[in-house]
């Protein structure tokens, strides 16, 4: 592990997944990336677009909050699902289409990354 970054999930933040992925893309000490996103918002889909066109390193993603009921506030404003864009399935589909390995749950992070880089 070379770097760990937490960007938060509120609608307005100082840094995005794309900002961080650009840094990781240019970091010689970063060989692969585990991205952990959550329900609500579209930051993960924006990251998927960047990954599809610019990112060259192996990457896996976990989207948390998959069992949250639509419209329920989950601790902060960014984790409210409104429409389909904020749903875990939509985020996973966008990331998968960009070539990202989808991690099915927290307990599978290690195995998924091991499989990704082997």
Alpha-carbon distances, residue 108 vs 24, 34, 87, 98, 111 (angstroms): 22, 12, 20, 20, 5
CA-to-CA distance for 83 and 63, rounded, in angstroms?
A: 17
Q: Which of 67, 64, 46 is nearest to 103 (CA)?
A: 64
* Burial of 101 per CB tally in 10 Å (0-12, 13-18, 19+): middle
For position 80, what pLDDT does the model report? 55
pLDDT digits (tens, 9 = 90+) for 13-48: 789 999 999 999 999 999 999 999 988 888 999 999
Judged against a pLDDT cut of 80, whether residue 103 lies above it is answered with yes
Report the DSSP pairing between strands 59-64 and 101-102. parallel
**Model confidence, pTM:** 0.87
CA-to-CA distance for 80 and 28, rounded, in angstroms?
A: 36
Alpha-carbon distances, residue 92 vs 23, 41, 104 (angstroms): 22, 13, 10
More reliable by pLDDT, 83 or 68: 68
Q: State mean pLDDT over 91-98.
A: 97
Out of 8, 23, 76, 97, which one is annotated catalytic?
76
Active site residue 12: no
Please give the domain boundaries of the chain with CATH numbers for all domains. Answer: 32-117 (3.40.50.261)
CA-to-CA distance for 51 and 97, rounded, in angstroms?
A: 10
The tokens for 21 are 């992925």
Judged against a pLDDT cut of 70, whether residue 102 lies above it is answered with yes
């Amino acid at each position: 592990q070379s770097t760990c970054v937490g960007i938060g999930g509120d609608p307005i933040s100082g840094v995005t997944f794309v900002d961080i992925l650009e840094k990781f893309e240019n970091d010689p000490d970063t060989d692969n990336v585990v991205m952990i996103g959550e329900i609500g918002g579209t930051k993960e889909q924006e990251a998927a677009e960047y990954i599809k066109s610019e990112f060259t390193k192996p990457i896996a993603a976990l989207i948390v909050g998959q069992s949250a009921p639509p419209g329920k506030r989950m601790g902060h404003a960014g984790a409210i699902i409104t429409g389909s864009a904020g749903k875990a399935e939509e985020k996973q589909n966008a990331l998968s289409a960009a070539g990202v390995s989808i991690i099915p749950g927290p307990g599978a992070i290690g195995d998924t990354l091991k499989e990704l880089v082997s």
